[in-house]
Structure 1
Amino acid sequence: MNALPAPVQTRRLALFGAKGVVGRCRDFTREALEDWGWFEGADEDRQAVADDVLLLVSELVANACLHAGGPEELVLDLDQRRLRVEVVDASPVRPVPRRPGDVTQPGGHGLRVVERLAREWGSQPRGGGKAVWIEVDTP
C-alpha cells in the first residue's frame, strides 16, 4: 500500500446521532472548500468538482446513517494533489455495491455514484469500526 502524501490541511468534525447529520457534514465540507479557494473564481469545471465533493460527502454520510448506525467522524485531508474524505462509523461491515437491479426502485445507487465521481474509494478498519473514504483530484 502506498503511503498517502502528508496533508497540507486536515479538518475533523466529530458526529453524534443521525438527525440532520448529512446537512451538517455538507455545510462543514462547503466551508472547508470555500476556505481552500475551491469556489473562488470557480469556472464551470472547478464548480463541478466542488459540487461532486458535496454529493460524495452526502452519499457516504447517508450510507453510514442507513447501514452503520450513523457516522462518528468526518475527516477532510487536503494535499497538493488530492482531497481525501473519510467517514468513520462503528460498524466493521465494509460497504459493497449492490448488483445491478431495477433502476426504478429506490435505494442501492449511492455507491454507484461514488464509483463514478471519486478517483478512488474504499474502506479500512478503524478501531472497532471502519472508515469509508473517497479521493478526488484537487481542481
Structure 2
Amino acid sequence: MLAELRSRRARHLRGGDNAHRYSAGPIDVRLRWSAADAALRISVRDVEPVLPRPRDPGLAAGGGRGPGVVEAVARRWGAYATGEASSGRPGKVVWAELG
C-alpha cells in the first residue's frame, strides 16, 4: 500500500529513453494506528499539486493503475490539496486506511 501511495509522486518519462524518475521535492510519510477503529492510516505528502483519480488505463497502458489498486485494498482512501499555489508551496496528501 505504501508503495502505491508513494508512486503517486508524479512519476513521468524522461525524454524518449523510457527511464522513469520521480519529481524533485520532499516527501513525508506518516503511519497512524487507531486502536478504536482497528485501522492503520498511511499518509504520504508531497509537493505535486495533481490529485490522483481512479481511471481505467486499459490493458496496454504502462501505468495508471495505482488508484485502482489502493481503492481495491484499502478500507477507505482519499487525497486533498495542501498549501497554496500563491505561496509557491502547493502539494497534496494521499492517504489510505487498512483494517
Q: Structures share a fold, TM > 0.5?
A: yes
Greater helix share, structure number? 1
Q: Which residue identity lines up with residue 110 of structure 1 in the other structure?
A: G
Matched position secondary structure for 1:76: strand
Alpha-carbon RMSD across the aligned residues, in angstroms, is 1.9
Residue number in structure 2 paired with 1:57: 2
CA gap of 1:116–1:130, structure 2 versus 1, over 3 A, is: same
* TM superposition outliers: structure 1 runs of 4+ over 4 Å: none
1:131 is the counterpart of 2:97: no
- Determine which of 36, 42, 61 is the counterpart of 1:105: 61
Uncovered stretches (5+) of structure 2, i.e. residues with no partner: 13-21, 84-89
CA distances 1:78-126 after superposition (whole Å, capped 9, x unpaired): 111211000001122211122x242133211111100100001101222
1:78 is the counterpart of 2:33: yes
Asked if 1 retains the 8 angstrom alpha-carbon contact of 2:57 and 2:63, the reply is no
For residues 11-26 of structure 1, what are the structure 2 equivalents within 5 Å? none
CA distances 1:38-91 after superposition (whole Å, capped 9, x unpaired): xxxxxxxxxxxxxxxxxx100111121516725510000111121100000112
Quote the Cα distance in structure 1 between the aligned partners of 2:6 and 2:59: 22
Matched position secondary structure for 1:116: helix
- How many pairs are equivalent? 81
Asked if 2 retains the 8 angstrom alpha-carbon contact of 1:69 and 1:89, the reply is no
Over the matched positions of the two proteins, sequence identity in percent amounts to 37
Residue number in structure 2 paired with 1:96: 53
Asked if 2 retains the 8 angstrom alpha-carbon contact of 1:119 and 1:136, the reply is yes
Uncovered stretches (5+) of structure 1, i.e. residues with no partner: 1-55
Greater strand share, structure number? 2
